[in-house]
């Protein structure tokens, strides 16, 4: 028998499962994979990469020679499990092969999702290198969170597939063992891809911080140049602001125009000098 049920209906399986096993599952004591003499228990947090949903939902699987039951935490996980466990009536498949097909269908589209992430991160790197903006930081944080979720998800499945491939209790056929070994290899490739993308995001964040530093340095350079340009004028203003007689403008009618001309000349000379030094 093969069924998909919410965890709240776990007790309905008493006719098909040992009461102690039901209690064991109900108490949440199972971790990832546990193989017993006559059955296997599998638990993992399912993550749907094909939707905008970021929350993970727990799935519990019970496998023996006659039965395969999937217990789901919420409706989204239940719908996914129903679709993944669907087997046409004309196909009389053993539970091991059905379980393999179940995981294959759950993972359908994951590589496409990773490829999209890689393309988005690559485009983001180009944008950041042309100029950092605050909006990019939110995107970098979102990518880091998504990759962390994928890392945790694939690590669970990688461990489960390795344990299934060992087949200590002999519930699976040789072909099924090879199938789960191949799934384990696929998880390793997914994990390597995720790790590579995480490194890219880390480098992207460093590039973003560097761009911010460059922008801040440019701003400080402008302030420094403005201060340097107007510092001589400040000196002149302070000098001519002193209250004593004998100042040139009091004895010469062109005194003020001369001071203005000198001030403009100083500013022009400094601006030309700064441009020559490529400080402006």
Model pLDDT for residues 238-274, shown as the tens digit of each residue: 766 655 556 655 666 777 677 778 778 887 887 787 7
Residue range 113-156, pLDDT digits in tens = 888 888 888 887 777 666 656 567 788 888 888 899 999 999 99
Q: Looking at the predicted structure, is the pLDDT value of residue 64 above 90?
A: no
pLDDT digits (tens, 9 = 90+) for 17-61: 777 677 666 665 566 777 777 878 888 888 888 888 788 888 888
In angstroms, the CA 38 to CA 32 distance is 17
Pick from 33, 35, 46: nearest CA to 152: 46
> How is the chain split among helix, strand and coil, in percent rounded to 5?
65, 10, 25
Angle between helices 75-85 and 95-106 (to 10 degrees): 130
Using alpha carbons, select from 97, 98, 191 the residue that is nearest to residue 147. 191
**What confidence score (pLDDT) does residue 267 get?**
78
Residues 134, 70 contacting (CB under 8 angstroms): no
Please state, in angstroms and as integers, the Cα–Cα distance from residue 69 to each residue in 46, 64, 139, 225, following that order: 16, 9, 39, 73
**Which residues in 50-100 belong to E strands, given as ranges?**
57-63, 68-72
Which of the four pLDDT bands, split at 50, 70 and 90, describes residue 185? very high
Q: How many residues does the chain have?
A: 280
Q: What is the pLDDT of residue 133?
A: 60
* Residue among 49, 41, 45 at smallest CA distance from 57: 45
């Amino acid at each position: 028998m093969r069924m998909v049920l919410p965890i709240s209906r776990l007790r309905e399986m008493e006719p098909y499962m040992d009461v102690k096993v039901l209690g064991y599952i109900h108490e949440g004591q199972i971790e990832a994979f546990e193989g017993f003499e006559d059955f296997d228990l599998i638990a993992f947090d399912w993550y749907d990469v094909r939707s905008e949903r970021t929350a993970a939902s727990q799935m519990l699987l019970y496998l023996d020679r006659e039965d395969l039951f999937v217990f789901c935490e919420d409706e989204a996980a239940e719908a996914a499990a129903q679709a993944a466990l669907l087997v046409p009536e004309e196909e009389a498949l053993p539970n091991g092969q059905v379980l393999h097909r179940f995981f294959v269908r759950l993972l359908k589209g994951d590589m496409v999702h990773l490829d999209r992430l890689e393309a988005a991160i690559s485009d983001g790197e180009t944008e950041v290198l042309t100029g950092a903006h605050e909006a990019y930081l939110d995107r970098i944080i979102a990518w880091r969170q998504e990759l962390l979720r994928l890392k945790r998800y694939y690590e669970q499945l990688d461990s489960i597939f390795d344990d299934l491939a060992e087949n200590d209790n002999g519930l699976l056929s040789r072909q099924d063992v090879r199938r789960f070994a191949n799934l384990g290899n696929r998880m390793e490739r997914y994990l390597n891809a995720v790790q590579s993308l995480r490194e890219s995001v880390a480098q992207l964040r460093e590039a973003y911080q560097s761009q911010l530093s460059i922008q801040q340095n440019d701003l400080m350079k402008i302030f420094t140049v403005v201060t340097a340009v107007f510092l001589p004028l400040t000196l002149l203003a302070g000098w001519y602001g002193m209250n004593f007689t004998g100042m040139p403008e009091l004895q010469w009618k062109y005194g003020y125009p001369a001071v203005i001309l000198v001030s403009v000349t100083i500013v022009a000379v400094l601006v030309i000098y700064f441009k020559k030094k490529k400080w402006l």
